[in-house]
Amino acid sequence: MTSAGDPAADNGELDAVFAETVRRTGASIGALYLLALDEQLLWLDVLCGAPAEFAEPWARVPVAAPAPVAVAVREDRMVWVGSQDEMARSYPRTAMVLPYPLALVAAPVTGIRRRGVLLLMWPATRPPYMTGRERGHIASRCRRLARLLEEAVGRDRPPADGEGPRVVPTGTGRRSASPAMAAADFVERLPGGSCALDLEGHFTYLSSGACDLLGCEAGGLLGTLPWQSLRWLDDPTYEDRYRAAVLSREPVSFTACCPPDQWLDFHLYPDASGISVRIVPSGAQPPPSPASARSPHTVTPSRAGRLYQLTHLAAALTEVVGVQDVIDLVADQIMPAFGAQGLVLSTADAGRLRITGYRGYAAHTIERLDGLPLDTDLTPAGHALSSGIPSFFADPEEMRRIYPEAPLISGKQAWAFLPLIISSRPVGCCVLSYDRPHTFPAEERAVLTSLAGLVAQALDRARLYDTKHELAHGLQQALLPRTLPHVSGLRVAARYLPATRGMDIGGDFYDLIRLGDTAAAAVIGDVQGHNVAAAALMGQVRTGVYAHASLGTPPDQVLTRTNRLLTDLAPDLFTSCLYAHLDFARRRVTLASAGHPPPLLRLPDGDTRPVDVPP
């Protein structure tokens, strides 16, 4: 039995409403993303119409990401993408890793507060637009999902690492009609071969003709994946055709060579219950294929799913800015993609490994690991970085043989030590760890090694950006006034908020200058740019204005002489400035402008208006 607030009961009703929504909208695939409590991350909670493996690259999506689901929750609006061309224009990163003809909508699920996003996908055969009635129906279903989520318990935090989304049926799958033998006899009478795959790609049925053409008995194929049980189909190209059929819900065909020289045409017909496959001998032999030339001993390429993950993560790494962005990306996307529960990202600094970010470790463990010398024998991190060769340990015993103390430090059960190297120059080390023993197949090692190179490039760029940012920020803070002087008769305050998103620096400056007991000057200005050069020039401008103002120079002459100074310095940057001379004895304010936006005058009735100050 279940009670109110019981997760199983909550999931059952939520899953039913979600599946009904997908079915009633006619979507082929549906996904429900939930918003974490800090509203920085979306995580995939429920999926239907596709296997969970397909969704691994998108199981966790940062709210700031340039993806339809992130935009929908960030801007609280329905996002419609009607074609592959529109996807490429509006969301190029998503189009890169989802290169299939389809249409989708991402609709915010909002109740008392933002709860998440409903994602629905259709084959490209549907009209490339949404009617008002469709939009209203989807919005109504989202409100119902939001009410269920608000009644649920513990739905505002992502699941533990390694836990995938729940996969629910839409209820549209069709079962074989009775009697079963009549259907089997019908298939057997057809020329060529017939087989069926479920949405995960496993064989669920094979006719005798299919077994003859594939050269294998049904008992050896049922329940297996074609690219695992048939080596000659072990090629990412063929798996991609299956993936295209599942995602696009459109028929797909390809040709493959069954050794030694039998060319076969595969025709895939998908729907919500699985894929029907017709196999017939090819009418003509196509050009030589890599599959036909592969030796039985050749290492097989990485699975298509891993390749898509690598492409997706590579695209994401090109967009990170600072070191913290790299850490968050590795933790939020790379760790789940490879099922890791722990992360340590360190950089090489003066012969030591300085930890810049971590997840899944206790603070006292990180304190012990931080600052280890590169030649340490405590962990493999230093050796991996100095040699440039990744190290993989599937269980504690394997680690203990070479590094006896390492398994005791963290209690982890498997590790991948990935050196981060750029042009033979060590940048740092990325450690992925697991709470249980974990084997690292050759294809996974290859993908992780390739990914380490991309992380190294991103981390090196991020460190350079952070260094420049800190330099400019420190220079700017040193040049701006630490406090404003007390001026009798004035209440003063200053607030510095850079207008450029993601930047904490700029060329803006301000000052308040005491001019004896009865006068003061207020100055505000802006130097073109948001970098070190702008911050440096800002200091020169502020100093020039201060020097001329403190000599009692009239406002217009303060700006004229400062302009002459800047002309001599030839900085190649524009500067605007507004200078206000406050005369308390005469109760007058004299303004001078060098192209700056006008000041606002607040009237006694509370109204405000700009003051026209000719530059």
CA distance 231 to 291: 9
Stretch 322-331: mean pLDDT: 84
pLDDT, residue 518, reads 85
Range list of H helices, 262-303: 290-293
**Which pLDDT score is estimated for 30?**
93
Query: Is 121:30 a contact under the CB 8 Å cutoff?
Result: yes
**Which residues, at least 6 apart from 312, have a Cβ–Cβ distance to it below 8 Å?**
57, 58, 93, 96, 97, 333
Per-residue pLDDT at 527: 83
Report helix angle 442-479 to 532-550, nearest 10.
10
pLDDT at 309: 62
Q: What is the pLDDT of residues 445-477, one digit of tens each?
A: 878 888 888 888 888 888 877 777 777 667 666
Q: How far apart are CA 340 and CA 335, in angstroms?
A: 5
Helix (H) or strand (E) holding 244, with range, is helix 236-248
7-167: CATH number = 3.30.450.40
Confidence check: pLDDT of 285 > 50: no
34-48, 159-173, 186-200, 261-275: segment of lowest average pLDDT: 159-173
- Reply yes or no on whether the pLDDT at 203 is more than 90: yes
* C-alpha triplet 370, 375, 380: angle, nearest 5°: 70
Contacts 24+ apart (CB under 8 A), 292-297: 292/232, 292/257, 292/259, 292/261, 294/232, 296/231
Furthest CA-CA distance within the chain: 108
CA distance 523 to 589: 13
Residue 154 binned pLDDT confidence (cut-offs 50, 70, 90): low
pLDDT level of residue 286 (50, 70, 90 thresholds)? very low
Candidate from 154-168, 211-225, 302-316, 361-375 with smallest mean pLDDT: 302-316
CA 283 to chain centre: 45
Q: In the predicted model, is pLDDT for residue 9 greater than 60?
A: no
Instruction: For the chain, give the percent of residues with pLDDT over 70.
Output: 86
Nearest Cα to Cα of residue 248 among 83, 68, 101: 101
Average pLDDT over residues 165-182: 65
* CA angle (496, 501, 507) in 5-degree steps: 45
**Mean pLDDT across the chain, nearest whole number?**
82
Token readout for 276 is 């029907």
- The full set of domain ranges for the chain reads 7-167, 183-288, 320-471, 480-610
The sheet with strand 414-422 has its strands ordered as 372-373, 352-359, 342-349, 425-434, 414-422, 391-393
What fold is seen in the domain 480-610? Phosphatase 2c; domain 1 (3.60.40)
Identify the pLDDT of residue 317: 76
Residue 287 has pLDDT above 80, yes or no: no
Selection from 334, 249, 267 nearest residue 26 by Cα = 249
Q: Which two tokens stand for residue 427?
A: 């940048």
481-522: pLDDT as tens digits: 777 888 887 888 887 766 554 445 666 788 888 888 888 999
Question: Which structure tokens are listed for 586?
Answer: 């005469």
Query: Looking at the predicted structure, is the pLDDT value of residue 129 above 90?
Result: no
Judge whether 183-288 and 320-471 match in fold: yes
Average pLDDT over residues 218-235: 90
pLDDT of residue 252 exceeding 60, the answer is: yes
State if pTM tops 0.85: no
Q: Within a 13 Å sphere around the CA of 478, how many CA atoms are in the beta-carbon half?
A: 11
Predicted confidence band at 276 (pLDDT cuts at 50, 70, 90)? Answer: very high
Q: How confident is the model at residue 160 (pLDDT cuts 50, 70, 90)?
A: low
Distance between CA atoms of residues 276 and 288, nearest Å: 27
pLDDT band, very low/low/confident/very high, at 116 (cuts 50, 70, 90): very high
Residue with tokens 């890791």: 340
Q: What is the side-by-side order of every strand in the sheet holding 203-206?
A: 203-206, 193-197, 274-281, 262-271, 252-258
Length of the chain: 615
pLDDT of residue 268: 93
- What's the topology of domain 320-471? Beta-Lactamase (3.30.450)
Q: Going by C-beta distance under 8 Å and a sequence separation of 6 or more, which residues neighbour residue 260?
A: none
Lowest mean pLDDT among 248-257, 287-296, 381-390, 603-612: 287-296
Strand locations in 468-598, DSSP E? 508-514, 519-527, 575-583, 588-594
Alpha carbon 92 to chain centroid distance?
Answer: 13
What architecture (CATH level 2) is domain 183-288?
A: 2-Layer Sandwich (3.30)
Q: How many Å separate Cα 105 from the centre of its chain?
A: 19
Q: Provide the pLDDT confidence category of residue 324 given band limits of 50, 70 and 90.
A: confident
* 163: phi then psi, degrees, rounded to nearest 5: -90, 120
Higher-pLDDT residue of 5, 450: 450
